[in-house]
Amino acid sequence: MSQVAIYSTPMTPPLQVLVTGATGRTGALVVQKLQQHPDQFTVRSFARSEQKANDLFGTTANLYLGDIANPADLQPALENCDALVILTSAIPQMKAPPEPGQRPEFIYPEGGTPEQIDYQGQLNQIEAAKTAGVKHIVLVGSMGGTNEQHPLNRMANGNILIWKRQAEAYLIDSGIDYTIIRAGGLQDQPGGQRELIVGKDDTMLAQPPDGIPTSIPRADVAEVVVQALLAPSARNKAFDVISKPEGTPQAVVTTDFEALFEQTTPGL
């Protein structure tokens, strides 16, 4: 986050933020970024595995163990929190290594379908946040939710992007301030080196700007989350986000996130 402006509020106490999916690939990056700014944030992690959390963060301080299927696990984690970052997701598993020339087949584990995790699990988080008096929810979702035929929806017939989008609609109607970040294809690449582009309703999937790939590094998504927690112009917005590939001529690396969020709009 070095060269990026952060919206400093020096006289206010740090924001208490709970990150769910904290041991996920993007969730862990968000936790680590928030931890770098103890003056701005006090971060709590919500995860299923103590071992995984300890391996990632070198500590289990401020770790709340639980399952998003259990509202009772969420309640203590959200007590006195100002903001919730939702980074949980159903995770498909390969059935078996594919035969040569065959496509791999996927299943969702029992209790881990998109309907259970990306819809009901997110509703549980939103309701628990409401009960706890949380003021802002930042939800990371995915582009593609307007298209039932999207390959990720067809995967194990899970309709994962459709369920995610239904949970987004629920969040918007919840009355809690929201920021919904629908990422393009996630890459494990360095962040802070690209121009980010925002859109809506999968229009960038249908027609990628300048034909660029509709992808974005996880580290950039994590930065968008951190900035959204602080920037007033991120409140009550939902948007798709992708990045120009590094080295794109005339691209300007995104550092002004207020300006980025100002390009986005409320509603699904």
Q: Two tokens at 113?
A: 């379908």
Q: Which is nearer to ligand NAP, 25 or 235 (CB)?
A: 25
Residue 65 in the binding site for ligand NAP (CB under 6 A)? no
User: Site for ligand NAP (CB under 6 A): how many residues?
Assistant: 27
Find the shortest distance in angstroms from Cβ 128 to ligand NAP.
Answer: 12
Q: Is 45 a catalytic residue?
A: no
Contacts of 227 (CB under 8 A, 6+ apart): 4, 6, 7, 234, 257, 261
Choose, by CB under 6 A, the member of 1, 5, 32, 52 that binds ligand NAP: 52
Find the shortest distance in angstroms from Cβ 182 to ligand NAP.
Answer: 7
Residue 218 in the binding site for ligand NAP (CB under 6 A)? yes
Contacts of 211 (CB under 8 A, 6+ apart): none
Residue 87 in the binding site for ligand NAP (CB under 6 A)? yes
Residue 24 in the binding site for ligand NAP (CB under 6 A)? yes
Chain centre to alpha carbon of residue 204? 19
Angle at 52 between CA 135 and CA 125, to 5 degrees: 25
Residue 48 in the binding site for ligand NAP (CB under 6 A)? yes
Nearest to 145 by CA among 124, 166, 114: 166
Q: Which residue is nearest to ligand NAP (CB)?
A: 24
Q: Looking at 75-83, 183-191, 230-238, 239-247, which segment touches ligand NAP (CB under 6 A)? A: 183-191
Write the DSSP assignment of 88-124 as a string of letters: -----EESSPPPTTSPP-EEPPTT-SHIIIIIIHHHH
N- to C-terminal Cα separation, the chain? 28
Q: Which is nearer to ligand NAP, 34 or 68 (CB)?
A: 68
Q: Which residue is it, tokens 């969040």?
A: 171
Which spans of this chain sit near ligand NAP (rule: CB under 6 A)? 21, 23-27, 47-49, 52, 67-69, 87-89, 91, 112, 117, 121, 140-142, 183, 185-186, 218
